[in-house]
Structure 1
Amino acid sequence: MNKSLITLLAVFTLFNCSVAQKNIEKDSVSIDKTQIKASMINALEWQEAHPIIAIAPTDWTNGAYYTGVARAHKTTKDMMYMAALKNQGYWNNWNTFKRAHHADDVAISYSYLYVDMTDGRKNFVDLEPTKNFLDAHLFEDDNWKAGTDKSKYGRTILWWWCDALFMAPPVLNLYAKHTKETKYLDEMHKYYMETYNQLYDEEEQLFARDMRFVWQGNDKDTKEPNGKKVFWSRGNGWVIAGLALILDDMPEDYKHRPFYEKLYKEMAEKILEIQPEDGLWRTSLLSPESYNHGEVSGSGFHTFALAWGINNGLVDKKHKPAVLKAWKAIAACQHEDGRVGWVQNIGAFPEPASVDSWQNFGTGAFLLAGSEVLKLE
């Protein structure tokens, strides 16, 4: 066999996640923590060298990415992660983005709060922009909150799309913990319940992305070709990963904590039930045949949340093989240079990915997953 053919086969095996994972035994429970740490650092280094801006350096994509960086530091204490966190915060002047009533635009503050709570230096992090955003977001009047800005997307509530449950609630929860001001936690719960009541499907134990995908009885547009409802993998990944972040920082005695634990357990049960054989969830959770290949951003968020559940006693340890299978499938989608492939591009519903599709929030999901898989015993 000539050298070029060998190289071609190696590349194909490495990057076609579904094919690669057929070689992973179903009951494999081995874990190489040194390799996981190396893969995570490679992902960080590649992403830092290849910044991507969807809207601005303080947008939600970077918010999700640097949340992953923060959690990677929390687990490993590797100063490379902290350096990245401090650098981006400094160059951002610790600002949020500008839309005060849009949850996406405060996601970046999770990383600011983490640095302020971890670094130990007073007056290095300026949390005033975060406080100003949160106060406006929660306490100022807005058409969305008043229910007067109606559209097919369901903009009759503050957090009208399920992704929002990753963007703002973990920040509010962490801010309440840091400042010891419970009012932010109570307001978070109020708006979280609005989204839950509008988008959560109790039968399927999954979230619709927004009101376009809530089954209306005879609306065929909200169904997949196989007749199942449309549930987006990354959308539900945002929610369950956000739940893990919330529960990690929420006081054990907080009056509404049982609601979040119950919701987390329901979603975790469903996500485990529908995990494909090769370990990677498809972009359409209930219609995996629509795009029959694994996708890394949703899978990364699911893996993070499930591993967190095992590590914190909310998911039975018998599911550890499933979580490790997912991690190994995700790791097989990382390029040799550190780039994380097979990430669906920015969107709002199930779409395909490819070996070369990447986004910074996909790297964030990769780091989140690794940060909890490292803790599995």
Structure 2
Amino acid sequence: MVLPTRPCVGLLAALFSAAPLPGPVLAQTVGALPPGVEGEWLTARDRPALYTDIAAVPSRQSTMAAVEYVASSQIAAMASEPLALSTGSNLTQMSSNWVAATFYVGASRLARISDDRRTLRFLSAVADHYNYSLRGARSGKTMLNADDIAIGDLYEELYARRGQEGVLMPLRQRLDWQVPYLARADDTPALVWWWADALYMAPPVFARMTALTGDPKYLNAADKEWKRTAARLWVEDEKLFLRDERFKDDGHRQANGDRIYWSRANGWVMGGLARWLEALPADFASRGFYIDLFEKMAGRIAGLQQEDGLWRASLLNPSAYPEAETSGSVFYVYALAWGVNHGLLDRDIYLPHVLKGWAALNRHILPNGLVGAAQKTGDQPVSTAPQDVGLYVSGTYILAGLEVAALNDPIRSLPLAEPARD
């Protein structure tokens, strides 16, 4: 078996580098509808009162109102834009790329519990439009790209709810193709998941595939590559991840000479750990490794929260980019609340961090219903403007809100069951 060469980091960095994200204009009235777009998607919910107090856990009702508001605003923004033929570099439109897929992750969890069926109908339309397929078929190297696996979570969600075999077939075929590369010998020098973001995009999809099919090969292969990536990017002394191996080099350091620990990169990892652990069997041999890693990161991240409740783009050098930044912060609110809700983190210690962070996120919800101060697509800290938005922030805000709402409930044991059939 010949392993495809490592992707060109510089090329991918260029592909993912920021282009301005325009603030969407949400349609308040529905006239002639674009073909295939339901009118109900073009109007966001009314803006609710948003929680900005940290004295007590917000009620489930008020938290869910905020979650539904942001979700409907993001769907309206996506549905109001022309549908682009190419999905690769789209940053605001409905797409099958990682940017949109990370929104679908949150939206699909909301659709499990919401009485409003519009979100589920939107997600179903997205999956139908892309025929339950994935990007990246042009070469072996692109077929290994973790980013293109992210939308698989949506297909798995719809399969779990409906049991239609065709929904899962294209994804399973791609994962079957990837398994030998992920499960290869440990002495193979190239990483498949060579950047921290990949640990959010792909491993949870592999773990769910095992849960849905009963075939352990997906989980076992992902476990092997996860550990291989951690061995290269985890820095034990800092209890943090480097975004990728370039950031070990002297040429990729902060102005003061220190290593760069990017907030969103570590957010991807913590959020990915939460989703990964949800699907790991209770008796899985490596489960303790991931719980230990999650707890170490949680302790470190909690101590890096800033006075305003957010985390800065450069975790260990907050003064380098002192402005508010939500795309990393939203992952930490989600992950810390998730850890409390599943008994992995001490509620008395971590709840204040969650509430402070949740209030801060709500202060940055723009008049259009989207979360502002979101760092654009990229691979390291950069300056962020108050009006900057991102689908990945909207999706993770939903996940964070669902966990904040669940702070009103008893602790939930792991692993989580797949959703019941419709």
TM-score by length of 2: 0.76
Rounded to whole Å, the distance in 2 between the matches of 1:324 and 1:134 is 38
Match of residue 6 from structure 1: none
Say if 2:156 is the partner of 1:113: yes
Say if 2:175 is the partner of 1:134: yes
Instruction: Tell me the secondary structure at the aligned position of residue 135 of structure 2.
Output: coil
Rounded to whole Å, the distance in 1 between the matches of 2:346 and 2:99 is 32
Rounded to whole Å, the distance in 2 between the matches of 1:54 and 1:374 is 34
Deviation at 1:137, TM superposition (A): 1.8
Instruction: Tell me the secondary structure at the aligned position of residue 50 of structure 1.
Output: helix
Rounded to whole Å, the distance in 2 between the matches of 1:312 and 1:80 is 29
RMSD over aligned Cα, in angstroms? 2.4
Deviation at 1:50, TM superposition (A): 2.1
Rounded to whole Å, the distance in 2 between the matches of 1:141 and 1:324 is 38
Question: Equivalent of 1:178, from 186, 208, 212?
Answer: 212
Rounded to whole Å, the distance in 2 between the matches of 1:96 and 1:347 is 22
Deviation at 1:147, TM superposition (A): 5.4
Match of residue 277 from structure 1: 307
Rounded to whole Å, the distance in 2 between the matches of 1:207 and 1:272 is 15
Given that 2:52 and 2:363 are in contact with CA atoms closer than 8 Å, whether structure 1 keeps it comes out as: no
Higher helix share: 1
Give the 5 Å matches for 1:336-347: 336-347=367-378
Rounded to whole Å, the distance in 1 between the matches of 2:109 and 2:149 is 17
Deviation at 1:55, TM superposition (A): 2.9
Match of residue 193 from structure 2: 159
Rounded to whole Å, the distance in 1 between the matches of 2:271 and 2:148 is 18
Match of residue 47 from structure 2: none
Given that 2:337 and 2:400 are in contact with CA atoms closer than 8 Å, whether structure 1 keeps it comes out as: yes
Given that 1:103 and 1:168 are in contact with CA atoms closer than 8 Å, whether structure 2 keeps it comes out as: yes
Deviation at 1:77, TM superposition (A): 5.6
Given that 1:40 and 1:367 are in contact with CA atoms closer than 8 Å, whether structure 2 keeps it comes out as: yes
Rounded to whole Å, the distance in 2 between the matches of 1:316 and 1:140 is 38
Instruction: Tell me the secondary structure at the aligned position of residue 42 of structure 1.
Output: helix
Rounded to whole Å, the distance in 2 between the matches of 1:73 and 1:321 is 28
Say if 2:245 is the partner of 1:208: no
Rounded to whole Å, the distance in 1 between the matches of 2:256 and 2:105 is 36
Q: Return closer, same or farther for 1:109/1:80 CA change in 2, 3 Å cut-off.
A: same
Give unmatched runs, 5+ long, in structure 1: 1-22, 149-155
Rounded to whole Å, the distance in 1 between the matches of 2:346 and 2:112 is 23
Question: Equivalent of 1:80, from 99, 104, 118?
Answer: 118
Rounded to whole Å, the distance in 1 between the matches of 2:175 and 2:302 is 34
TM-score by length of 1: 0.85
Give the 5 Å matches for 1:13-92: 28-51=55-78, 55=89, 57-76=95-114, 78-92=116-130
Say if 2:339 is the partner of 1:305: no
User: In terms of mean alpha carbon deviation, does 313-322 or 38-47 score higher?
Assistant: 38-47
- Deviation digits for residues 99-150 of structure 1 (CA, Å, limit 9, x no counterpart): 3111100100111101211x2x34276111101111122226999x9957xx
For 1:108, give the aligned amino acid.
I
Given that 1:107 and 1:167 are in contact with CA atoms closer than 8 Å, whether structure 2 keeps it comes out as: yes
For 1:211, give the aligned amino acid.
E
Deviation at 1:303, TM superposition (A): 0.9
| Equivalent residues, number | 341
Q: Return closer, same or farther for 1:199/1:146 CA change in 2, 3 Å cut-off.
A: same
For 1:241, give the aligned amino acid.
G
Q: Return closer, same or farther for 1:124/1:363 CA change in 2, 3 Å cut-off.
A: farther
Deviation at 1:75, TM superposition (A): 4.9
For 1:198, give the aligned amino acid.
R
Given that 1:310 and 1:316 are in contact with CA atoms closer than 8 Å, whether structure 2 keeps it comes out as: yes
For 2:107, give the aligned amino acid.
V
Q: Return closer, same or farther for 1:103/1:349 CA change in 2, 3 Å cut-off.
A: same
Given that 1:297 and 1:366 are in contact with CA atoms closer than 8 Å, whether structure 2 keeps it comes out as: no
Deviation at 1:365, TM superposition (A): 1.6
Question: Equivalent of 1:372, from 399, 403, 407?
Answer: 403
Deviation at 1:24, TM superposition (A): 6.1
Q: Return closer, same or farther for 1:35/1:24 CA change in 2, 3 Å cut-off.
A: closer
Q: Return closer, same or farther for 1:74/1:271 CA change in 2, 3 Å cut-off.
A: farther
Deviation at 1:44, TM superposition (A): 1.6
Give the 5 Å matches for 1:228-239: 228-239=258-269
Give unmatched runs, 5+ long, in structure 2: 1-50, 82-86, 137-141, 409-422
Rounded to whole Å, the distance in 1 between the matches of 2:183 and 2:277 is 28
Match of residue 33 from structure 2: none
Rounded to whole Å, the distance in 1 between the matches of 2:339 and 2:133 is 32
User: In terms of mean alpha carbon deviation, does 314-323 or 125-134 score higher?
Assistant: 125-134
Rounded to whole Å, the distance in 2 between the matches of 1:142 and 1:176 is 15
For 2:339, give the aligned amino acid.
G
Given that 2:264 and 2:327 are in contact with CA atoms closer than 8 Å, whether structure 1 keeps it comes out as: yes
- Deviation digits for residues 253-305 of structure 1 (CA, Å, limit 9, x no counterpart): 11111111011111111110111111111111111111112211111111111
Instruction: Tell me the secondary structure at the aligned position of residue 286 of structure 1.
Output: coil
Identity, in percent, stands at: 34
- Deviation digits for residues 195-232 of structure 1 (CA, Å, limit 9, x no counterpart): 00110000101110011112x5xx2x343234432011
- Deviation digits for residues 143-186 of structure 1 (CA, Å, limit 9, x no counterpart): 9x9957xxxxxxx2111101000010000011111111111111
Question: Equivalent of 2:351, from 306, 320, 342?
Answer: 320
